[in-house]
Amino acid sequence: RYYAERVRQANYNFDESELKPYLSLNSVTNAVFDVSNKLYGLKYVKRDDVEAYHPDVNVYEVRRNKAGADSEEDELVALFLHDNYARAHKSSGAWMSEYRSQKKNLGEGIDGIESVPIVSNNNNFAKGSGSTLLSFDDGVTLFHEMGHGHHGMLSDATYGTLASTSVLRDFVELPSQLMEHWLSEPEVLKEHARHHETGEPVPDDLLQRLKAAQLFNEGFAVVEYTACALFDMAV
């Protein structure tokens, strides 16, 4: 992988570190919330008054306009916890989890709020002393996990055992795989990828070089995961 990156830099004149100053955690979070709003009509209202399990965790009410209602009327869809930073004793990697899944079959006398899902996205980004800067892959991961978050927040099932990600394994990854590709859309990057110090938008030349380099080494990647899949099925 080291040599592959060297070849990519030589052939496409693209170094991911050039993009990093334009991908602060705040900018990428704003981008993913904006895409979420445009795709699903979701609005994220930060709740600083709600205490989470760690000071670094941000809590949001997720709301959207009621169907067929006046545009000023909205409804609570979910509570969303964004836990982005690495810390001691936290599991590694990135994942979506739920503290409460959506369901409709509430027992008699149970408050309807119990049907509202509580969803968290968990990442392990290194917290910066100023702006936390992400690699492009980190940004893709944040978008990927939001796809899982959508799966939980937008669930509309009667039974909790069939809600959210309680589906066939192949389908679990569909919303996340679709969501992660939105970060590379030029419209998203041009609007949200801004220099963390100057606020300048990402240069067109850098975006063009990113686009040109994205398919580099994909042939090897396809053969690699195909070989792993064939091995899994064989054993």
Residue 145 known to be catalytic: yes
Which one from 114, 145, 173, 200 is the annotated catalytic residue?
145
Return the number of other C-beta atoms located less than 10 Å from residue 2's C-beta. 5
CA distance 140 to 177: 10
Compute CA distances 74 → 42, 70, 115, 116, whole Å: 10, 8, 17, 14
CA distance 90 to 122: 10
Active site members: 145
